[in-house]
Amino acid sequence: MTTPERRLARAETALADTEARYAAILESAMDAVITIDESQRVVLFNQAAEAMFGCPRSEALSGSLDRFLPERFRAAHHGHIAAFGVAGATNRRMGHNTVLSALRSDGTEFPIEASISKAGAAGHHLYTVILRDITRRKSVEDALRHSQSELRELSAQVLQAREDEKTRIARELHDELGQQLTALKMDLAWAQEKLPAGQPELAGKLARMNETLDATVTATRRISADLRPLMLDDLGLAEAAEWLVEDFRQRSGIECNLVLRNAEAVSDLPSTTATALYRMLQESLTNVARHSQATHVKVELEVEGEVAVLVVTDDGRGIKASDRTKSRSFGLKGLRERAHYLGGTAQIEPAPGAGTCVAVRVPAVTTESEP
Ligand SMILES: Nc1ncnc2c1ncn2[C@@H]1O[C@H](COP(=O)(O)OP(=O)(O)OP(=O)(O)O)[C@@H](O)[C@H]1O
Ligand SMILES: [Mg+2]
């Protein structure tokens, strides 16, 4: 053999080795690999493709790719391949944001994830599609989504049941107990009036009874309002928020100001949204009092177009990322859950500078009440 012949033989052996290595990789790949030519004839079909489509390689080779596509997608697919042929990119993911479907030999469709690449010159391109059967993943995802929505539904039911129960107890306390305490107070006033002079011991006793009665009336009002401020139902969220902020200021001694914008729209919010926002404000303020060591809180409440916005910002010690997912804390989880259920969002972040900022954005119109 002459030297050039030897070189050629070596090159041929090296090429054969490389091809054998690639073939082995292709055959051991878990993903199906299919190469087609410009006329969409199959020129390469690996073992995983055989298993996935239930089609022997001998049958697939030189046939059209169409047999592996559900009929309704064939025309569009031809268009996509042609467009990809003239596009600048040499590879891309197929089917952005949509689930692609493929067709097995037995006629069943299954969801896939695929990427495509091209090699060769224009007019003589070879296209290679690498695809993965995602039937199992999709069914697990569907099941997960279903169970999440069931859980969400359940937690909304539980919240609603608690809310109904609190409203009922608040009304009973206010109406029943409140009325009877008022009647007692009137009777006591009557007794004090009728008390003959010269009975200092009895008069002192009655005066102390009166004080106890006053304290009981105040406590009943406070408990009832804590359960549910009846003004939320009667006067709307704007006034209820004002009351809550005032009550917080008095009880905690922390400076708190409320910025209400578009108050009329705030008070016109649907009752479920108003209740949720009220509870979220209540939780945020309770957290400020319990955890923040803040000296000042700002509450902003407004309706901006179709969105109701609640922002509570304190100037306290701030919140750590790990605080937001504490296993035995339910306040912030409930807050996020309420926002989610209404189709909105809740962000709990360190405030710029120092402190914590809770920002809730929920639709101002419930889908049910939309025409
Ligand atoms: N405004 C805040 N400033 C600083 N830390 C906060 C603030 N709000 C919440 N945190 C931290 O986040 C944690 C979680 O709050 P979350 O409301 O979920 O639970 P909690 O208040 O501890 O208990 P609960 O279930 O009764 O609400 C708190 O324990 C606290 O450490
Ligand atoms: Mg809390």
> For residues 293 and 11, what is the distance between their CA atoms, to the nearest angstrom?
77
Cβ(163) to ligand 1 under 6 A? no
> For residues 341 and 62, what is the distance between their CA atoms, to the nearest angstrom?
54
Q: Which atom of ligand 1 is nearest to the CA of 334?
A: 18
Angle between helices 200-227 and 135-172 (to 10 degrees): 160
User: Which residues 6+ apart lie within 8 Å of 35 measured at CB?
Assistant: 42, 43, 44, 45, 126, 127, 128, 129
> For residues 60 and 36, what is the distance between their CA atoms, to the nearest angstrom?
11
pLDDT of residue 78: 87
Question: Which ligand is closest in space to the CA of residue 323?
Answer: 1
**pLDDT per position as a tens digit, 54-103:** 999 999 998 999 999 999 999 988 888 888 888 888 888 887 777 899 99
pLDDT of residue 226: 85
Question: Which ligand is closest in space to the CA of residue 320?
Answer: 1
Q: Is the pLDDT of residue 249 over 50?
A: yes
Q: Which of 331, 310, 309, 308 is nearest to 319 (CA)?
A: 331
**pLDDT per position as a tens digit, 160-175:** 899 999 989 988 998 8
pLDDT of residue 369: 40
Mean pLDDT of 206-218: 95
Q: Which atom of ligand 1 is nearest to the CA of 287?
A: 8
Q: Is the pLDDT of residue 200 over 50?
A: yes
User: In which residue are the tokens 């790719």 written?
Assistant: 65
Beta-bridged to residue 118, according to DSSP, are: 127
> Distances from the Cα of 58 to the Cαs of 26, 50, 63, 70, 242, in angstroms?
16, 10, 9, 21, 78
* Least reliable range by pLDDT among 93-102, 297-306, 316-325: 93-102
Neighbouring CB atoms inside 10 A of 32's CB total: 23
**pLDDT per position as a tens digit, 8-18:** 899 899 888 88
Q: Is the pLDDT of residue 138 over 70?
A: yes
Q: Whose CA is nearest to atom 4 of ligand 1?
A: 292
Residue with the bigger pLDDT between 85 and 127: it is 127
Question: Which ligand is closest in space to the CA of residue 292?
Answer: 1
Q: Is the pLDDT of residue 231 over 90?
A: no
Mean pLDDT of 182-200: 94
Mean pLDDT of 224-251: 90
Cβ(323) to ligand 1 under 6 A? yes
Cβ(284) to ligand 1 under 6 A? no
Q: Which of 129, 62, 59 is nearest to 100 (CA)?
A: 129
Cβ(331) to ligand 1 under 6 A? yes
Mean pLDDT computed over every residue of the chain: 91
- Band (108; pLDDT cuts 50, 70, 90): very high
Cβ(335) to ligand 1 under 6 A? no
Mean pLDDT of 221-233: 86
* Least reliable range by pLDDT among 278-282, 284-288, 352-356: 352-356
Cβ(273) to ligand 1 under 6 A? no
Q: Which of 307, 306, 300 is nearest to 281 (CA)?
A: 300
Cβ(357) to ligand 1 under 6 A? no
